[in-house]
A = this chain, B = another copy of it.
């Protein structure tokens, strides 16, 4: 409610769909926006599986946030991990390689997203990486290609079978897409490229403890996806709960209680998500509740209880059982921007903060690709499958890929992969080959974290000018 000459300061935490669309929606508002984010890129998470399976390059799904916002003069990017939000002082504390930055805000939009959840079994992560970051996708690309390469070299049939068995845990959209693409990679792209193995012999197993594929979709769509997957050679095993994961495979408990073992070198985890730890911190500080996935239960205007200046949007917030999809984050970001703009206008004319109409999510439908030319889509009561759904998937994803250039090269890469067989982004670095596999990556990130934390932090304000 203060009327100062300095512009209203909005801080946005996160550069995913929620953070980016909130920032862009504030383009014409009389505010200063600072995005505080861990990465310098905006990640198009729903296409990570295409980076993992060699269709797209990192750059195509992760353009530079600064380049996207280059012409938005009221927006700045501060790189850093947010360690603390001080709701009283109204500051965001972030750390970037030992340097602490404190960014003050008048309004805050928290959109830090969610990470992979192993339901309390975090040691699974080493053997079955998730699908949440670019690092994950490149790690998995390395593991998938390494498995084929190692299978080509071995003369032990047991080891070869283990190397050629790919297990995807979790039959949600990401799991379905990964399983479908690993199958197409082995059946189409790599077919005929090896000399001692036939890549088409690879087994691709999609596991889920649930009784159906694509649980958020209508039963008939899940059934359609299951049939399509089986047609391209994916073995779908439902009502199968993973009880353990190690370097050489996993233990599974079927619904009748029998335990069995699947030998597999390359595992992918897409079974669960848990909100950024910031959610729990904000909840504890504001007295809000968190749900089982660690998400904050927000007010009708997506704010923290007692903090109308703090919005929590996207995968971090729980409200009306909204799903963790891009559209919820995008619409939440735009809603928060509209509320902030209205507040700022009111303050400029010394009128009280206007009433907010509650956030209303407009369901534009959900979709998942299964294989090339085949998808499932659900728009309200309407269910669409097959090629038509795939065309819709294509159109919708292109609209939300940021940047005209990336859109064009993506279309180009898709044409090449889906009409032809080739994939041009199967490249694996030495690091992906040697170090990142299994323990390497985690050790590295752990070391980096330790090193970062050891650095004597220097406090200073962002945009001190």
Is the beta-carbon distance between B40 and A149 smaller than 8 angstroms? yes
Segment among A52-60, A273-281, A357-365 that sits at the interface with chain B = A52-60
Would A152 and B192 count as touching, CB distance under 8 A? no
Using a CB–CB cutoff of 8 Å, the interface residues on chain A facing chain B are: 38-41, 54, 57-60, 62-64, 66-67, 69-71, 76-80, 96-97, 99, 101, 133-135, 138, 145, 149-150, 152-155, 189-190, 192-196, 403, 405-406, 408-409, 412-413, 416, 422-431, 433-436, 440-441, 443-445, 447-449, 451-452, 460, 462-465
- A406 in contact with B424 given A447-B435, A463-B195 (CB within 8 Å): yes
Q: Taking CB as reference atom, which chain B residue is nearest A413?
A: B409
Q: Which of B99, B189, B192 makes the CB contact (< 8 A) with A153?
A: B99
State whether A428 touches B41 (Cβ < 8 A): yes
A150 B66 Cβ-Cβ under 8 A: no
What residues of B have a CB within 8 angstroms of the CB of A431 in the complex? Answer: 135, 431, 436, 441, 444-445
Q: Which of B134, B150, B408 meets A97, CB within 8 Å?
A: B150
Inter-chain contacts of A408 with B (CB < 8 A): 412
Q: Are A427 and B152 closer than 8 Å at their CB atoms?
A: no
A contact patch SS: mixed
Task: Return chain B residues, CB-CB under 8 Å to A62.
Answer: 427
A193 touches B64 (CB 8 A): yes
State whether B66 touches A193 (Cβ < 8 A).
Answer: yes
How far does the Cβ of A250 sit from chain B's closest Cβ, in whole Å?
A: 21
- The reply to whether B444 and A155 contact each other, CB–CB distance below 8 Å, is no
Inter-subunit contact A447/B452 (CB<8 Å): no
Residues of B within 8 A of A149 (CB): 40, 79, 96
Closest B-chain residue to A194, C-beta based? B66
Is A57 in contact with B425, judged by CB distance below 8 angstroms?
yes
A-B contact pairs, 11 of them (CB 8 A): A40-B149, A57-B58, A76-B195, A78-B152, A99-B153, A99-B154, A135-B429, A196-B463, A409-B412, A431-B445, A440-B444
Which residue from chain B places its CB closest to the CB of A78 in the assembled complex?
B153
Q: Is the CB of B96 within 8 A of A58?
A: no
When distances are taken between beta carbons in the complex, the residues of chain B under 8 Å from A70 are 192-193
Q: With a CB–CB cut-off of 8 A, which chain B residues contact A40?
A: 145, 149, 426, 428
**Are A155 and B464 neighbours in the complex by a CB distance under 8 Å?**
yes
**Chain B residue contacts of A76, Cβ below 8 A:** 195-196
Cβ–Cβ contact A427 & B153, under 8 A: no
The reply to whether B134 and A429 contact each other, CB–CB distance below 8 Å, is yes
Shortest beta-carbon distance from A47 to chain B in Å: 13
List the B side residues contacting A77 at CB < 8 Å: 152, 195
A447 to B438, CA, bound (A): 13
Residues of B within 8 A of A58 (CB): 57, 425, 427, 429
Once the chains bind, are B153 and A425 in contact (CB under 8 Å)? no
* Cα separation A181 to B429 with both chains bound (whole Å): 23
- Closest Cβ neighbor of A57 among chain B residues: B57
Tell me if B435 and A444 are in contact (CB < 8 A). Answer: yes
A434 near B59 (CB under 8 angstroms)?
no
Q: Are A434 and B97 in touch, CB under 8 angstroms?
A: yes
* A427 and B66 contact, CB distance less than 8 A: no
The answer on a CB contact under 8 Å between B153 and A96 is yes
A465 partner residues in chain B, CB cutoff 8 A = 196
Closest Cβ of chain B to A401, distance in Å, is 11
Cα A426 to Cα B70 with chains together (Å): 15
A119 to chain B, nearest CB (A): 23
A134 to B59: give the CA distance in the assembly, Å.
Answer: 15
Partner of A434, one of B67, B435, B443, B449: B449
A424 & B59 in contact (Cβ 8 Å cutoff): yes
Contact A64 B448 (CB under 8 A): no
Flag if B447 contacts A440 (CB, 8 Å).
Answer: yes
Contact of A445 among B38, B54, B434, B447 (CB under 8 A): B434
C-alpha gap A78/B445 in the complex (Å): 31
Q: A406 to nearest B CB, angstroms?
A: 6
Residues in chain B near residue A462, CB distance under 8 A: 153
